[in-house]
Amino acid sequence: MTSTTDANADAPVPDGYGELRAQLATLTTEAFRPELAEIDQLPTQEIARIMNGEDSTVPAAVAEKLPQIAAAIDATAERMARGGRLIYAGAGTAGRLGVLDASECPPTFNTDPSEVLGLIAGGPSAMVKAVEGAEDSKELAADDLDGLGLTPDDTVVGISASGRTPYAIGAVEHARSRGALTLGLSCNADSALAAAAEHGLEIVVGPELLTGSTRLKAGTAQKLVLNMLSTITMIRLGKTYGNLMVDVRASNEKLRARSRRIVSLATGAGDQEIEAALAATDGEVKNAILTILGGVDGPTAATLLAESDGHLRAALAAVRTT
């Protein structure tokens, strides 16, 4: 009778398995932590305490790369100010985080859905279900970018915890060959993704609580950096006034209430004046603030903001110098 061990010993090894296994063994994000080998035997609260402690180390890892992150943001904002787009590209968790960040920009900053985009290996269905093998194709990434009509004013951000995902690397390589700005966001040092990009952002958070489960600390680090990238870029583009979301799109009752509150915080005006300003500007928060603080009508506010490339402070300065 053949033993299971003997049968497994005779099983064929997939092509490239040895090389891939060797690569994974060198990655910090894949490292095994023997001190956690008995974690499944611990009380739930103790596991939660350990996990919480692990998570608390992520902001410090991000902080170490703030100069590089800031440089990447300034370069991105410069391209977007010329009409370029911000495009995220990744697979699995990394791809989902990019799609998530992109989808939040229209309601938060009133961007057109075509201005900030998220590409995920395997297409939209990969948001909820794994598409086998999609992450292994550089060519798929190039095709996805070509489908968007990539231009030199665009910024492409490859996202990959390991820094070796072919889809993310392929996106960055193809974008760079087309003259677009490229960022590579990973969680391992000396990654192929960072090497391929003009701005390599390597947020090294160390081995995961569960070996290789990069949706944990690595995913948190990527989310924090993407928050910075989109938010600060939008600040640079004049999408905020101080820390107020003056370009918020009031698409539901909660956001309509928020719009009124933002106008109130920016101007100190009473309810009736706020309602009149919003009515005169078709609900555009930034325009309503300008009508109140600048003492202009709705059409004039729209013209001043257009001439100021949407920067409210610049539009107010223009009013005060006339």
**CATH, residue 275:** 1.10.8.1080
pLDDT of residue 58: 97
Query: Which comes out higher in pLDDT, residue 27 or 158?
Result: 158
Query: Could you give the C-alpha distances from 32 to 210, 212, 279, in angstroms and in order?
Result: 8, 8, 60
Taking residues 275-298, what's their average pLDDT? 95
104 is catalytic: yes
Is residue 110 within 8 Å of residue 248, measured between CB atoms? yes
Considering the domain boundaries, does residue 273 fall inside one? Answer: yes
Asked whether the beta carbons of 101 and 227 are under 8 A apart, the reply is: yes
| pTM for the model | 0.88
Percent of the chain with pLDDT over 90: 76
Identify the pLDDT of residue 21: 61
Are residues 191 and 301 both part of a single domain? Answer: no
Give the pLDDT score at 293: 97
Q: Does residue 257 share a domain with residue 216?
A: no
Q: Which of 188, 208, 236 is the last residue of a domain?
A: 236
Specify whether 230 is located in the same domain as 196. yes
* Domain limits for position 301: 253-320
Residues 215 and 131 in one domain: yes
Tokens 């003056």 sit at which residue? Answer: 246
The active-site residue, picked from 104, 198, 273, 275, is 104
If one counts the domains in the chain, the total is 2
CB 110 within 8 A of CB 67: no
Tell me what pLDDT residue 11 has: 56
215-242 per-residue burial string, b: 16 or more CB within 10 A, e: under 16: bbbbbbbbebbbebbbbbbbbbbbbbbe
Q: Is 273 exposed, middle or buried (0-12, 13-18, 19+ CB in 10 A)?
A: middle
- The domain boundary residue, chosen from 210, 236, 262: 236
Q: Give the pLDDT score at 190.
A: 95
Same domain membership, residue 204 and residue 84: yes
Residue 164 lies in a domain: yes
Instruction: Judge if 290 and 143 occupy the same domain.
Output: no
Q: Which range, of 13-27, 70-84, 85-99, 282-296, averages the lowest pLDDT?
A: 13-27
> Within this chain, do residues 206 and 264 fall inside the same structural domain, yes or no?
no
**What is the reported pLDDT for 71?**
98
Q: 118: which strand partners?
A: 88
- Per-residue pLDDT, 4: 44
Q: Is 235 in contact with 247 (CB distance < 8 Å)?
A: no
Q: Which amino acid is at 297?
A: D
Predicted confidence at residue 15, as pLDDT, reads: 56
Catalytic residue, candidates 30, 54, 115, 135? 135
Instruction: Please indicate, yes or no, if residue 225 is contained in any of the structural domains.
Output: yes
Question: What is the DSSP annotation of 84-149?
Answer: --EEEEESHHHHHHHHHHHHHHHHHH---TTTEEEEETT-GGGGTS--TTGGG-HHHHHHHHHHTT
Residue 46 within a domain: no
pLDDT in tens, 174-212: 999 999 999 999 999 999 999 999 999 999 999 988 888
Cβ–Cβ < 8 Å for 188, 163: yes
* Residue 230 resides in a domain: yes
Q: Are residues 231 and 166 in the same domain?
A: yes
Which of 206, 236, 266 represents a domain boundary (last residue)?
Answer: 236
Tell me which DSSP letter residue 32 carries. -
279 and 204 inside one domain:
no
> Which pLDDT does position 36 carry in this prediction?
84
Q: Give pLDDT, residue 252.
A: 85
CATH number at residue 215: 3.40.50.10490
- What confidence score (pLDDT) does residue 17 get? 53
Say if 34 falls within a structural domain: no
Verify that 186 and 70 share a domain, yes or no: yes
Task: Answer whether 186's CB lies under 8 Å from 202's CB.
Answer: yes
Query: Would you call 30 a catalytic residue per the annotation?
Result: no
Q: Are residues 102 and 232 in the same domain?
A: yes
Indicate whether 286 belongs to any domain.
yes
Looking at 168-172, 206-210, 309-313, which range is the least confident one?
206-210
* Polymer length of the chain: 322
Establish if 76 belongs to a structural domain: yes
pLDDT at 7: 45
- The candidate with the shortest Cα–Cα distance to 214, out of 135, 117, 145, 144, is 135
Confidence of residue 12 (pLDDT cuts 50, 70, 90): low
**Same-domain check for residues 214 and 293:** no
Average pLDDT, the chain: 91
pLDDT digits (tens, 9 = 90+) for 22-78: 566 678 888 888 888 898 999 999 999 999 999 999 999 999 999 999 999 999 999
Higher-pLDDT residue of 34 and 319 is 319
